């Protein structure tokens, strides 16, 4: 995480002892509003989304961008899905990943520091960036989803993702999605919260840069 704008690796992960996800407070909590006094006004070409395809929260933001027909209006960059000690990294050489087309950064943390040089907190995806004010509008997925689904009526396809008659059901899903330590798919699939069973998840590693030398002949056992 970043502490006063400096990268630190001696901090805890966002999981508790059982491996459950622990949500921490995010810092950039503004919204794009179609309102003359708003700091962030809806405009095609002004905003940019940073996501990782491995992240369910970022995936939600990317889905709303697409469902609302905002692909041309809101650009997107995709970090390496494997996050290592230096945090989210731009790895355009990998399939499905991109450069940072805004700042040319190597790591997403540089985007956070560009928004706030003293930033303290985790460097998470998704991030909604404003080209005009050169800052992060918001880094909380559910709020980014709301912004994308509500503020860009004249820019996107006008689909209503919050229709009358379904709002209570939607709010209930959102509440569970944001308050329980579940993945979105668990929250959507089960009508009542169910205990999480713990299964060991496979460790994903980068391919080795240098191939191991071939093993020598096996030593026969006695
Ligand atoms: N508050 C965030 C949580 C997002 C989040 O935790 N993203 C994870 C990936 S799924 C992340 O970027 N983790 C990096 C870290 O914790 O250092 C949201 O819902 O937008």
Angle between helices 141-150 and 56-67 (to 10 degrees): 0
| Residues 79-104: tens digit of each pLDDT | 999 999 999 999 999 999 999 999 99
Task: Please give the number of the atom of ligand 1 that sits closest to the Cα of 87.
Answer: 17
- How much of the chain, in percent, has pLDDT values that exceed 70? 77
pLDDT band at 119 (very low <50, low <70, confident <90, very high): very high
- Ligand 1 centroid to 125 CA: how many Å? 5
Question: Where is average pLDDT lowest: 20-34, 77-91, 94-108, 161-175?
Answer: 20-34
pLDDT band at 13 (very low <50, low <70, confident <90, very high): low
Q: Are 67 and 58 in contact (CB under 8 A)?
A: no
The pLDDT of residue 23: 63
Half-sphere exposure of 33 (CA within 13 A, CB side): 8
Paired tokens of 119: 């930033």
Q: Whose CA is nearest to atom 19 of ligand 1?
A: 141
125 C-beta closer than 6 A to ligand 1: yes
Domains of the chain: 2-157 (3.40.30.10)
128 C-beta closer than 6 A to ligand 1: no
Cα–Cα distance measured from residue 66 to residue 57, given in angstroms and rounded to the nearest whole number: 15
Three-state DSSP class for residue 129: strand
Paired tokens of 222: 């006695």
């Amino acid at each position: 995480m970043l502490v006063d704008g400096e990268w630190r690796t001696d901090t805890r992960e966002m999981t508790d002892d059982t491996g459950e996800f622990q949500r921490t407070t995010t810092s950039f909590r503004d919204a794009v509003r179609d309102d003359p006094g708003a700091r962030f006004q809806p405009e095609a070409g002004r905003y940019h989304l940073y996501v990782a395809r491995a992240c369910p929260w970022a995936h939600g933001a990317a889905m709303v961008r697409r469902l609302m027909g905002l692909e041309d209006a809101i650009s997107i960059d995709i970090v390496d899905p494997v996050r290592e000690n230096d945090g989210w990294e731009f790895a355009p050489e990998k399939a499905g990943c991109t450069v940072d087309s805004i700042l040319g950064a190597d790591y997403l943390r540089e985007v956070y520091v560009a928004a706030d040089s003293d930033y303290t907190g985790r460097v998470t995806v998704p991030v909604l960036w404003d080209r005009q004010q050169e800052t992060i509008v918001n880094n909380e997925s559910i709020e980014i989803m709301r912004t994308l689904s509500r503020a860009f009526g004249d820019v996107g396809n006008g689909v209503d993702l919050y229709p009358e008659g379904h709002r209570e059901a939607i709010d209930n899903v959102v509440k569970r999605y944001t308050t329980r330590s579940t993945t979105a798919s668990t929250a959507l699939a089960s009508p009542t919260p169910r205990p999480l069973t713990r299964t060991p998840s496979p460790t994903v590693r980068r391919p080795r840069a240098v191939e191991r030398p071939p093993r020598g002949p096996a030593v026969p056992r006695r």
